[in-house]
């Protein structure tokens, strides 16, 4: 392990919030029992919020952000891991209350780590990242849970809101691979061609779902993935057919939900909340093992931008302004 390595350090003294790439040593890393040489991390919306001001998620400073990463075990005091193991971390509030992946080395609780499947490269694991693992959970809940666990009818026509975002775009691709006819919802008509290229059969504008929802509307969808909440989710619920599952994983539009019991008691619709932060390791390992079958990395490549820790300072601001698109990979070797 290198004596000195670089990391992005957040600090706050009074009202002065700073973010700097600094040279540190391993004595700075204070959490966990497994040290990982980080190869890649990602820039998620939550990361951008933390980089701005801590987002009330960071409780102690100085702090290393970065909510996900992939890399190789360098040192381990955990029986489940040894030097050389290739691992992935998403969730568990790493990058929030624990030091995260915006560092060339990360020290974490081994119970948070998943062994990387041989079918994925370390880079591909972070192309998927937190957004992809959330999308996989949503897609399996919407389709596979209904068809296999609940022994219900086949799920064919599904809708995905916030389809241009990280979770939404992955969900479009995965549901298409699972054999669904996907209607993608986006606020930008200019994204239509891209969404169709990754598997959307139809594309509609978010404005079509911003009206006041009826208690029950015409049934259009066998299932749904919603990443935005608010009126969009209200309308999706009222338009979901009998026994449909609506996976909810975001609140970009609103945290409030003004609905009635009608979709749930008349049509048996299920609103399935998705929280990928504390998903069990067994479930995570299953999802990672399935991921290479459902995600077309060659198709995604044109939307991937590889950046350094230093680049994060400019990019996170643009993300918060809605000026970014595609996936940002943080290469810790840059």
Domains along the sequence of the chain with CATH: 5-116+296-331 (3.90.180.10), 130-273 (3.40.50.720)
Do the Cβ atoms of 192 and 125 come closer than 8 Å?
no
Q: How confident is the model at residue 81 (pLDDT cuts 50, 70, 90)?
A: very high
pLDDT above 90 (res 207): yes
pLDDT above 80 (res 15): yes
So what's the pLDDT on residue 3? 84
d(CA 277, CA 103): 20
pLDDT above 80 (res 166): yes
Q: What pTM does this model have?
A: 0.93
- How much of the chain, in percent, has pLDDT values that exceed 90? 87
């Amino acid at each position: 392990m290198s004596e000195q390595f670089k990391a992005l350090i957040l600090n706050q003294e009074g009202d002065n919030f700073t973010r700097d790439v600094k040279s540190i040593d391993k004595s700075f890393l204070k959490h966990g029992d497994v040290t990982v040489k980080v190869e890649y991390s990602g820039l998620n919306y939550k990361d951008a919020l933390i980089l701005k001001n801590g987002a009330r998620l960071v409780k102690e400073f100085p702090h290393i952000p970065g909510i996900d990463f992939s890399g190789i075990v360098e040192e381990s005091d955990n029986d489940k891991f040894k030097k050389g193991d290739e691992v992935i971390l998403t969730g568990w509030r790493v990058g929030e209350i624990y030091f995260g992946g915006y560092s060339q080395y990360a020290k974490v609780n081994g119970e948070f780590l998943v062994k990387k499947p041989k079918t994925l490269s370390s880079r591909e694991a972070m192309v998927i990242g937190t957004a992809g693992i959330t999308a996989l959970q949503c897609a399996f809940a919407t389709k596979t849970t209904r068809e296999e666990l609940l022994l219900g009818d086949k799920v064919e026509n599904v809708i995905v809101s916030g389809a241009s975002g990280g979770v939404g775009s992955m969900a479009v691709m995965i549901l298409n691979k699972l054999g669904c006819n996907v209607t993608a919802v986006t606020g930008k008509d200019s994204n239509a061609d891209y969404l169709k290229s990754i598997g959307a059969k139809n594309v509609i504008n978010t404005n079509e779902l911003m009206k006041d929802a009826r208690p029950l509307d015409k049934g259009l969808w066998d299932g749904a993935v919603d990443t935005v909440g608010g009126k969009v989710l209200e309308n999706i619920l009222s338009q979901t057919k009998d026994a449909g599952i609506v996976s909810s994983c975001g609140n970009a539009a609103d945290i409030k939900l003004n609905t009635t019991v009608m979709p749930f008691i008349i049509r048996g619709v299920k609103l399935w909340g998705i929280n990928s932060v504390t998903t069990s390791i067994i479930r995570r390992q299953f999802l990672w093992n399935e991921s290479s079958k459902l995600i077309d990395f060659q198709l995604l490549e044109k939307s991937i931008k590889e950046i350094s820790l230093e680049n994060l300072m400019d990019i996170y601001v643009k993300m918060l302004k809605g000026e970014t698109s595609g996936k940002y990979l943080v290469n810790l070797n840059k």
